[in-house]
């Protein structure tokens, strides 16, 4: 029997028509034929998915799977629902592991807490684990809190940008941006843990129907990542990786082609222009509603941006520019206009959240891809949620206007940013946007999470839709996403990667 021939019978998604009953013939890694009826003999392995719905596998246009892999042994604090509970977990961990050892955690989100909706402080952590250095990263990755011992061990001086001081002039333990970067760099991990973490993450990707992730790394991460991939041999997922702009010189001198492996390709340059709404570091025109003295942090001024954009563009490198707040977006778009960039390089603006009509128009003119995260909408933009609290109703309404983006003719690529790592949740969020004018339909949302996120990686001719000649990267869904009431209930039944089938749940 030749395993290389696979037939999938089922309800197959075509973006032009919706679901149609068809059979797919898959040879090696590609779809070779789509037919109404295929005569199946013993040569073929048949997957009968007539009860199910077959779509192109998701391409997560913005995620951090390497970070997920690195912290695979950290405490997962995302399910914690109060500050009190957080303290208990850390106290308990300290008791189990004993003094001196690091306590590392991630994923806490105070905006969902029942008792106090504030960031923890150094004192909170000192109270429960004075003899362990503690480092806990907020869900958005743009803020962490450390205790006193960790401050000391990490040599964090108060003059580093992003060390937040209290009224007494002492560090509160909250670290943002540069300070956070400085601290995280010192938290070590070894290649074996990373390799194990990547294997776990690849399995998680199968469960979510994801075959590719667009990532961001620095050079240290990149080399550990390549080492780990080498150890593993093969993973059923591909990575499209941007390198942060501090290493622009290196990228220019080295050239992209030399930095690639079977599972990973280097995309271009990532630039951060501001932080996040959650950490109150997204750069705003007007102050935060819940912090009237603060307009966020513009991490680079216009001229710095122009210089980076011009150099990257001249070197033929694709740019992915992180910009969330309106002031950051103003600055980035202005810098892009001045830099006169080559739109063939498909430069991207990441997040592009707090925007107005002018922003959309200018981005369209510049030929930018809007690389947006519907998952943020489900997570924080629902009525009464964190975005509304931080920004007030007027600005809250302006955020993530997906429909307008599409109507204005921008390419809309979707990613999860691991909030959570789940495209199905993102699709539900885009369809159920709290501002009805910003909602898009299910098919459009799926297309942004497959075809257009492939486009954002120059791969739309190879993957991202079900068509003969394209790579057989598919996800089989338990329910019809065009008909089901609550899209979040959809399960991934199987994931097919380059023609190989990975069953997730099958009944």
Q: Which residues bind Zn ion (CB under 5 A)?
A: 417
Q: Which is nearer to Zn ion, 124 or 417 (CB)?
A: 417
Per DSSP, the residues of 451-506 read HHHHHTTT-TTTSSS--TTSB--EEEESS-TTT-S-GGG--EEEEEETTEEEES--
- Minimum distance of Zn ion from residue 7's CB (angstroms): 39
- Minimum distance of Zn ion from residue 417's CB (angstroms): 4
Distance CA 272, CA 216 (A): 11
- Minimum distance of Zn ion from residue 415's CB (angstroms): 8
Which whole-number Å values give the CA distances from 205 to 29, 64, 68, 96, 492, in the listed order? 18, 12, 11, 31, 10
Q: Which is nearer to Zn ion, 329 or 443 (CB)?
A: 329
- Minimum distance of Zn ion from residue 230's CB (angstroms): 26
Contact criterion met (CB below 8 Å) for 7 and 23: yes
Which whole-number Å values give the CA distances from 471 to 8, 25, 27, 467, in the listed order? 14, 12, 10, 9
Q: Which is nearer to Zn ion, 156 or 212 (CB)?
A: 212
Name the pairing type of β-strands 210-217 and 171-176: unpaired
Q: Which is nearer to Zn ion, 326 or 417 (CB)?
A: 417
What angle (nearest 5°) sits at the alpha carbon of residue 324, between those of residues 318 and 325?
A: 135
Beta strands in 380-442 (DSSP E): 411-414
Crossing angle between the packed helical segments 219-232 and 191-207, to the nearest 10 degrees: 80
- Structure-token match 């395993």, residue found: 3
Q: Which is nearer to Zn ion, 60 or 417 (CB)?
A: 417
- Minimum distance of Zn ion from residue 264's CB (angstroms): 17
Q: DSSP character for 193?
A: H
- Minimum distance of Zn ion from residue 311's CB (angstroms): 23
- Structure-token match 């189990």, residue found: 96
SS3 102: coil
Q: Which residue is nearest to Zn ion (CB)?
A: 417
Distance CA 385, CA 133 (A): 32
Q: Which is nearer to Zn ion, 109 or 417 (CB)?
A: 417
Residue 17 backbone zone (phi > 0: left; psi -120 to 50: alpha; other: beta): alpha
- Minimum distance of Zn ion from residue 353's CB (angstroms): 12
Tally Cβ neighbours within 10 Å of residue 97.
Answer: 13
Q: Which is nearer to Zn ion, 213 or 473 (CB)?
A: 213
Q: Which is nearer to Zn ion, 54 or 418 (CB)?
A: 418
- Minimum distance of Zn ion from residue 419's CB (angstroms): 9
- Minimum distance of Zn ion from residue 273's CB (angstroms): 13
- Structure-token match 């199910």, residue found: 52
Q: Which is nearer to Zn ion, 195 or 323 (CB)?
A: 323
């Amino acid at each position: 029997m030749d395993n290389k021939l696979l037939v999938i019978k089922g309800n197959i998604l075509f973006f032009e028509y919706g679901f149609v009953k068809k059979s797919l013939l898959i040879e090696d890694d590609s779809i070779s034929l789509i037919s109404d009826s295929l005569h199946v003999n013993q040569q073929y392995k048949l997957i009968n998915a007539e009860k199910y719905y077959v779509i192109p596998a998701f391409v997560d246009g913005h995620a951090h799977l390497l970070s997920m892999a690195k912290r695979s042994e950290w405490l997962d604090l995302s399910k914690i629902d109060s500050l009190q509970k957080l303290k208990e977990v850390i106290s308990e961990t300290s008791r189990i592991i004993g003094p001196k050892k690091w306590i590392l955690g991630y994923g806490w989100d105070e905006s969902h807490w029942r008792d106090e909706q504030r960031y923890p402080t150094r004192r909170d952590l000192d109270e429960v684990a004075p003899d362990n250095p503690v480092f806990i990263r907020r869900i958005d990755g743009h803020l962490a809190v450390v205790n006193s011992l960790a401050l000391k061990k990490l040599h964090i001086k108060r003059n580093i940008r992003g060390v937040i001081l209290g009224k007494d002039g002492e560090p509160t333990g909250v670290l943002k941006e540069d300070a956070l970067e400085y601290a995280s760099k010192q938290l070590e991990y070894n290649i074996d843990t990373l390799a194990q973490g990547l294997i776990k993450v690849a399995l998680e990707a199968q469960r979510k129907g994801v075959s590719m992730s667009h990532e961001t790394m620095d050079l240290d991460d990149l080399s550990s990542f390549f080492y780990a991939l080498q150890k593993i041999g093969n993973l059923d997922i591909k990575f499209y990786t941007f390198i942060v702009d501090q290493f622009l010189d290196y990228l220019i001198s080295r050239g992209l082609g030399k930095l690639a492996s079977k599972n990973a390709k280097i995309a271009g340059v990532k630039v951060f222009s501001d932080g996040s709404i959650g950490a109150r570091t997204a750069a705003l025109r007007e102050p935060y509603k819940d912090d009237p003295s603060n307009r966020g942090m513009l991490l680079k001024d216009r001229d710095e941006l122009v210089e980076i954009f011009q150099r990257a563009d001249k070197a033929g490198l694709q740019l992915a520019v992180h910009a969330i707040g309106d002031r950051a977006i103003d600055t980035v778009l202005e810098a892009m206009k001045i830099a006169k960039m080559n739109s063939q390089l498909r430069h991207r603006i990441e997040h592009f959240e707090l925007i107005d009509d002018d922003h959309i128009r200018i981005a369209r003119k510049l030929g930018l891809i809007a690389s947006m995260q519907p998952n943020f909408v489900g997570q924080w933009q629902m009525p009464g949620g964190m975005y509304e609290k931080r920004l007030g109703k007027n600005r809250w309404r302006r955020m993530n206007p997906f429909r307008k983006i599409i109507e204005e003719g921008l390419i809309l690529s979707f990613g999860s940013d691991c909030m959570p790592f789940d495209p199905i949740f993102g699709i539900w969020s885009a369809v159920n946007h709290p501002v009805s004018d910003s909602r898009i339909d299910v098919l459009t949302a799926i297309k942004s999470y497959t075809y257009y996120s492939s486009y954002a990686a120059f791969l739309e001719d190879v993957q991202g839709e079900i068509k003969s000649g394209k790579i057989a990267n598919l996800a089989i869904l338990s329910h019809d996403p065009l008909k089901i009431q609550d899209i979040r209930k959809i399960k991934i039944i199987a994931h097919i990667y380059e023609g190989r089938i990975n069953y997730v749940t099958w009944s």
